[in-house]
Homo-oligomer: A and B are copies of this chain.
Amino acid sequence: MITATVTGNVWSTRHVEGIPPGAFLEVQIDGTESRLVAFDVLGTGVGERVLIAQGSVASGWFTGPPPPVDALVIGSIDATPNK
């Protein structure tokens, strides 16, 4: 997984079938200038730090026909880590 910070939303009115309920979030990967788009089902907002799983496991998490998403926000990272 990678850690990243949400920087915005990506809107796509015209898209293929099979996109589940949720949002496309643009995120910046921690420690880099790289950005990617992750699918979110948790209602995550801009500025939150998140944990993202990539590849077919993102799609495989959904029940029903696997949607064509290759990155999923699997959690919001706790603001005060109790290390």
Contact = CB atoms under 8 A, between A and B. Distances in A.
- What class of interface size applies to chain A in its complex with B? 35 or more
Interface in A22-36: 24, 26, 30-31, 33, 35-36
14 contacts: A1-B39, A1-B69, A2-B37, A8-B81, A11-B77, A11-B78, A11-B82, A14-B76, A15-B42, A16-B61, A16-B72, A16-B74, A16-B75, A30-B35
Contacts of A67: 57, 61
Nearest to A71: B1
Interface of A: 1-3, 8-16, 18-19, 24, 26, 30-31, 33, 35-39, 41-42, 51, 53-61, 66-78, 81-83
